[in-house]
Structure formats: C-alpha cells, structure tokens
Amino acid sequence: MAAIAAARKSRLHNALEGIALTATLQSFPTFAAAALLLKLCGNQDLVGDPGVAIFVAVASLAHALLAVTLGPSFPAVCNTLYEPKFFDGTLSLSDKITAWRTHPVASLQLVTIVLLLSVMAVVTASVG
C-alpha cells in the first residue's frame, strides 16, 4: 500500500514533505530552544509577544530551505542539517520519519533537544 501511495506522489509533493519534515523535526526545536533560552536570560521583550512564535516559524522555514538548498551540494558540511531520506520519493511520510529516527545522529539530536527543553521548562516555571 505504501508503494502505491509513493508511486503517485509528485515531485512537488515529495519536496514539500521533505521541507516540512526538515523544518518541523530539525529546525523548529532549535529555534524554540533559542527563544526559551532568551526568556531564561531575562529578556523582557519576549514576554507576551506573539512575534516570538512568528520568528520561530519563519526562522525554522528559512533554516530548512537553506539546509535543503545547500545539503545536497555540501553533504560533509550539512550532514546534521540535511536528511536525504526526507526527499526519498519511494517512502511514505511515516517511513521517512521512521528512517530518520533510526539514525544514531538523529537519536542523539532528539535526546539532546528533549533534555534541553525539559531543563529550560523547569527553570522557567520555577523562576516565574
């Protein structure tokens, strides 16, 4: 069933899936952690400002587009930013995520992000 769905997937659809996965799974946690870190450092400009969410969303998309543009050309430099499996037209969306999660580098990134966000959330909640 997944092979039939992948066969019908257009190039544009596959590229959009890859960009969305790169932005969501790799870029968004980085910029969300940066915004939370600024909040922890006492930046009062972030309190109640909807611009923070807009910044995180736009920066994640720009970062993903940059990674997708430079990743295939410079794989040695962008090895943690660009995931070729996200752009494999033969894989379904869930297969792309599963293939990414099984890489040791991706697992390390996920654990690092979860621990960092957890510590920052506890500190933010306890500081006020």
Residue 6 confidence (pLDDT) above 50: no
Closest C-alpha among 124, 108, 121, 90 to residue 26: 108
Q: Which tokens sit at 52?
A: 């923070």
Share of the chain above pLDDT 70, in %: 89
Taking the domains of the chain in order of start, what are their residue ranges?
A: 2-127
* 82 neighbors 75 (Cβ within 8 angstroms): yes
* 97 neighbors 14 (Cβ within 8 angstroms): no
Residue 94 confidence (pLDDT) above 80: yes
Alpha carbons 112 and 128: distance in angstroms, whole number: 24
Q: Which residue has the tokens 């994640």?
A: 60
pLDDT in tens, 95-121: 998 888 888 878 888 888 888 888 877
Mean local confidence (pLDDT), 33-44: 78
Mean local confidence (pLDDT), 33-62: 80
